[in-house]
Amino acid sequence: MCNEKIILGGLDLSSYTSNIRTYRKKKYINIGLIIFGIIFFYLIVTVILYLTAPRIAPYEVREGAILKDNAYTGVAVRNESVVYAEQDGYINYYTTDHSKVHAGTNIYTLSNEKLNFENSSFENSEVLLSEEEKNILSLKMQTFSESFQDTSFSDVYLFKNEVENTLQNISSQSRTDQLNVMLENGTSPNLMVHSCSDDGIVVCSVDGMESLTADAVTLESLDKSTYRKTEFLNNTKVNAGAPVYKLITDESWSLVLEVSQDVYDNLKDRKAVKVRFLKDNQSLVGNLSFKEENGHILVYITFDNSMIRYVNERYLNVELILEDQSGLKIPKSAETQKDFYVVPKSYITQGGNMSDQGVLRQTTDKNGKSITEFLPINIYYEEEEMVYLDPSAFHKNDVLIRPESTETYALNRKRSLKGVYSINKGYAMFKQIHILCESEEYYIVEEGNEYGLSNYDRIALDSTGIKENDIVF
């Protein structure tokens, strides 16, 4: 077919058609699409790296304290004497519970019959609660709520009696006035008034442990499972010879409790210990003594004040404060260790602009000639005549030159420092810490150290996997 002639209008076109060539379309490269692809790929890689990179969670350093304590239940021992009724009758108290009285003060009355206070002229008198009285009731309710256990339901009745007694004590002034009127008018001819023989504190309850002395305390005395206390109420019948109140005549008192061998080892060389009372979170310092009984260690803590605060309690829940340290509080997860070169302070000098600290390092130029260069450095800690320098700022086997001297110092001596990573500047920077004390989760570290932490510093919550100069996301 290629040899056939093409005749058009008498002309032979075969010679022309043999020279016709077919050209393919040119393919143009889309530069914009390529750039977009590169940017898109970069973004994908960046997002993946960001998502897979370890997160540095921040923690704000704050001042705080750690109390290393041990919780115990101790038995309180006081100088107590029980007063008994001289005859049968219905009792009414002149004084409020836990009142301080002088010898000769009227304490209670006895009558053959119940006294009728409702029909007196004081019937409609309004009794207003003072702030102190409100606090007494509030404290009683709080203590009961925090210490109540389902297994000790009898405590409900004890609490009920305490509240009733407190409310009666609050209105005691009105009752006292009414008793005085009855005595003056002779409306109750059989009303007998009884006073106390000594100065002291009146407690309108007994528990059968009033005669207990510190020396007589045993392991059985520390068991409160069978403990019972009897509260005395106004206008109730008492028999001759029955207890009606007790009088505490000495401000000194003791708390006896059992401790473990480890705690004893911590206390045995001390003369005193700080005690925190869980009832009201108040703390007292008491003198220490010890006794061993059948392999058990009893601790005797003696106080000379605040007895009246806990006068109504035989068993007290307390904590022995074995360590009370204040400083900067940081989580244990933030702590790390890092090795540093230890260099004499005499090798530290100033740079040319007199602003940067650094060292003179001996090195060689490209021709192998020995030269000295100034290398800026950061000092991470110092002690006595030595400073701590970051190894990453140096080469292996570097030699330092002492300024204005020919003496040299080879960098081969390292020491480890405990510290955390500060992230105040957006990157991780090691900060030395000096641990003062610790708990299960926190350290208390020294404050005011030039190379350490300050209040409100931000540090990495978890130092695992963090390196110096890591960027904080």
Query: What is the rounded average pLDDT of the residues 223-250?
Result: 93
Q: What is the pLDDT of residues 26-44, one digit of tens each?
A: 666 778 788 888 898 888 8
Chain centre to alpha carbon of residue 372: 54
Report the mean per-residue pLDDT for the chain.
84
- List the one residue out of 59, 19, 5 whose CA is nearest residue 462: 59
Chain centre to alpha carbon of residue 174: 46
Which amino acid does the sequence have at 294? N
pLDDT band (50, 70, 90) for residue 118: low
pLDDT above 90 covers what percent of the chain?
47
The answer to pTM > 0.85 is: no
User: Are 430 and 468 within 8 A, CB to CB?
Assistant: yes
Q: Which two tokens mark 112? A: 């053959």
Per-residue pLDDT at 14: 58
Q: Is 74 helix (H, G, I), strand (E, B) or coil?
A: strand
**Phi, psi of 240, deg, nearest 5:** -60, 135
Query: What is the rounded average pLDDT of the residues 259-285?
Result: 89
d(CA 80, CA 91): 21
Per-residue pLDDT at 64: 86
d(CA 445, CA 435): 4
The length of the chain is 473
* pLDDT higher than 50, residue 121: no
* pLDDT higher than 50, residue 281: yes
d(CA 254, CA 77): 5
Comparing 8-22, 258-272, 316-330, 431-445, the range with the smallest average pLDDT is 8-22
d(CA 61, CA 451): 15
Q: Which two tokens mark 208? A: 């059968």
pLDDT band (50, 70, 90) for residue 124: very low
DSSP string computed for 357-425: EEEEEEEE-TTS-EEEEEEE--EEEEETTEEEE-GGGS-TT-EEE-TTS--EEES--EEEEEEEEE-TT
pLDDT band (50, 70, 90) for residue 122: very low
Which amino acid does the sequence have at 141? M
Q: How do the residues of the chain divide into helix, strand and coil, expressed in percent and rounded to 5?
A: 20, 40, 40
Q: Is 176 helix (H, G, I), strand (E, B) or coil?
A: helix
pLDDT band (50, 70, 90) for residue 123: very low
C-alpha distances in Å from residue 417, one per residue of 363, 370, 429, 436, 469: 28, 33, 14, 15, 17
Cβ-based neighbour number of residue 334 at 10 Å: 24
Q: Is 222 helix (H, G, I), strand (E, B) or coil?
A: helix
* pLDDT higher than 90, residue 340: yes
Q: Which two tokens mark 176? A: 């006292």
Instruction: Decide which of 469 and 324 is more confident.
Output: 469
Query: What is the rounded average pLDDT of the residues 421-450?
Result: 90
How would you list the strands of the sheet with 89-93, edge to edge?
Answer: 192-195, 106-111, 89-93, 236-238
d(CA 50, CA 44): 10
Q: What is the pLDDT of residues 125-171, one digit of tens each?
A: 455 566 666 776 777 777 667 666 555 555 666 667 666 666 655 55
Contacts of 324 (CB under 8 A, 6+ apart): 65, 66, 67, 68, 274
Comparing 21-35, 161-175, 326-340, 423-437, the range with the smallest average pLDDT is 161-175
Instruction: Decide which of 438 and 51 is more confident.
Output: 438
